[in-house]
Amino acid sequence: MKHNACDHPGLLLIISGPSGVGKTTITHRVEKLLDAVFSVSMTTRPRTSEDVEGRDYCFVTRDEFKRHLDRGDLLEHADVFGNFYGTPRQPVERHLRAGRVVILEIDVQGAVQIKRNMPETFALFVEPPSEEELLRRLRSRGREDETTIQRRFAKAKKEIAMARECGVYDRFLVNDDLDQTIEQAVRIVREELAKRQHAA
């Protein structure tokens, strides 16, 4: 553990939460407020007109993804609704060595893999105030039909239960008020950084 801390003087921060909980907004605001580095995931999912290559995701073919996986280039990977997502190892390790806070916005499956490989990682899980509110938020996005929304809702409930049971999350945040949740996340991470610097 001590050895890992010396290898990585920075902090690897996971932010997870189900679809519709507001985690992407929280992640980007926390990134700015902490002057952190956002780890851009690799994915095989089709690129939309809103996506910016290299900022939102690194878009690759399934064959390319498999090559990266086989070479051990990914810290974690997951299959989400038939598309593959993964975290490239090299940029994360480079920023950690430079002492930066690196944020991974990944699902529970990915968080379990990361914590297994890098136990010094700090993990936050963002929850909705209630299931009813989560369903309302999924519908209000207006991006999907009701069948897809219900599928996402079922997956979200499963993900929340998994997050509670898996034991990898250090703190749980209820996103009732977005600004307050962001403030709380920043405060928690700053406290964790201070604690680690003190321990070192």
Residue 77 domain flag: no
Residue 61 domain flag: no
How high does pLDDT run on average in the chain? 92
Residue 180 domain flag: yes
Task: Decide if 97 contacts 66 (C-beta within 8 A).
Answer: no
Q: Which domain range does residue 106 map to?
A: 2-39+100-199
Residue 84 domain flag: no
Residue 149 domain flag: yes
**C-alpha dist (Å) from residue 74 to 62, 67, 154:** 14, 10, 28
Sign of CA pseudo-dihedral 141, 144, 145, 146: negative
For 72-92, write each residue's pLDDT tens digit.
999 999 888 789 999 999 999
CA distance 101 to 31: 9
Of 21, 12, 42, residue with least CA distance to 125: 21
Q: What is the CATH number of the domain that holds 22?
A: 3.40.50.300
Residue 81 domain flag: no
Is residue 50 predicted with pLDDT exceeding 90? no
Structurally, how many domains does the chain consist of? 1
Average pLDDT for residues 100-123, to the nearest whole number? 95
For 10-19, write each residue's pLDDT tens digit.
999 999 999 8
Residue 136 domain flag: yes
